[in-house]
Amino acid sequence: NTAHNDNSRGSLIVLEGLDRSGKTSQSNRLVTFLKEKGLSVEFWRFPDRSTSTGQMISAYLANESQLDDRAIHLLFSANRWEKRSLMESKVMSGTSLIIDRYSYSGVAFSAAKGLDVEWCKAPEVGLIAPDLVIYLDISAEKAAERGGYGTERYEQLEFQKKVAEHYRTLYDASWKIVDGGLPVETLEEQIREIALGCILTCQKGKPLSE
């Protein structure tokens, strides 16, 4: 039984992957599924473009503004920091958050520009650690074939290849790698199982960490 009971906490589940890897649609499918099971769950995404830092990030991504690589890195990080306390209170009060991108994007995308990896990681220290990171693995070439990229700054094949290389170095115990090239429903099924396992473990009292 996965129904939420009063004193159990929710889970922090992050989906990561290259642009066009299918994260957003899989996140939404997962949220719908978990809600139908009666669980308290919300869909979040980073960057959250609705806040003032988010609007600066959005303008940068649309090439409407230019910013120093380190300045934009810190803005992306601040965009996560401004949600930290809400994130903690949601999870501790029993709501699971399914998050489209998090600190791993922060490090992989900025490191792909050539910034020092340890420097990139530093501002993420102290954020809530995800209970589970689902990485949608797809080659940059295959992702690019999916209806093509939009016009945003990072949506370029050579850059995405570098991002993929950096993602690979960030793998840790919280990661589950799934094949982003699978048919949507097959992948959805795999993600459901992985997520439910995580939610159960968290309900049983796995501590939240930073």
| DSSP structure class, residue 123 | G
Q: Where are the beta strands (DSSP E) in 28-148?
A: 41-45, 96-100, 132-137
When the beta carbons of 11 and 26 are compared against Na ion, the nearer one is 26
Written as one letter, the residue type at 20 is R
User: Could you tell me how far CA 202 lies from the centroid of its own chain?
Assistant: 18
The residue with its CB nearest to Na ion is 24
The single residue among 8, 24, 51, 139 that binds Na ion, judged by CB under 5 A, is 24
> What mask of x and - would describe binding to ligand DGP in positions 152 to 171, judged by CB under 6 A?
x-x-----------------
CA–CA distance, 33 with 161 (Å, rounded to integer): 32
Shortest distance, CB of residue 7 to Na ion, whole angstroms?
Answer: 34
20 binds ligand DGP (CB under 6 A): no
Q: Is residue 47 involved in binding ligand DGP (CB under 6 A)?
A: yes
Distance in angstroms (rounded) separating the CA atoms of residues 68 and 81: 20
**Which of 169, 163, 206, 188 lies closest to 98 in space, CA to CA?**
188
Q: Which residues pair with 133 in a beta bridge?
A: 14, 175
With respect to Na ion, which residue has the nearer C-beta, 19 or 137? Answer: 19
**Shortest reach from residue 2's CB to Na ion, in Å:** 27
Site for ligand DGP in 69-98 (CB under 6 A): 73, 76
Contacting residue, 12, 13, 14, 19, with Na ion by CB under 5 A: 19
71-130: which residues touch Na ion (CB under 5 A)? none
Q: CA 185, CA 22: separation in Å to the nearest integer? A: 12
Single residue of 15, 39, 109, 132 touching ligand DGP by CB under 6 A: 109
Q: Is there a contact between 47 and 76 (Cβ–Cβ < 8 Å)?
A: yes
Query: Given the rule CB under 5 A, which of 14-22, 33-41, 81-89, 116-124 is the region that contacts Na ion?
Result: 14-22
Task: State the Cα–Cα distance between residues 17 and 86, nearest whole angstrom.
Answer: 24
Q: Which residues bind ligand DGP (CB under 6 A)?
A: 19, 46-47, 61, 73, 76, 100-101, 105-106, 109-110, 152, 154
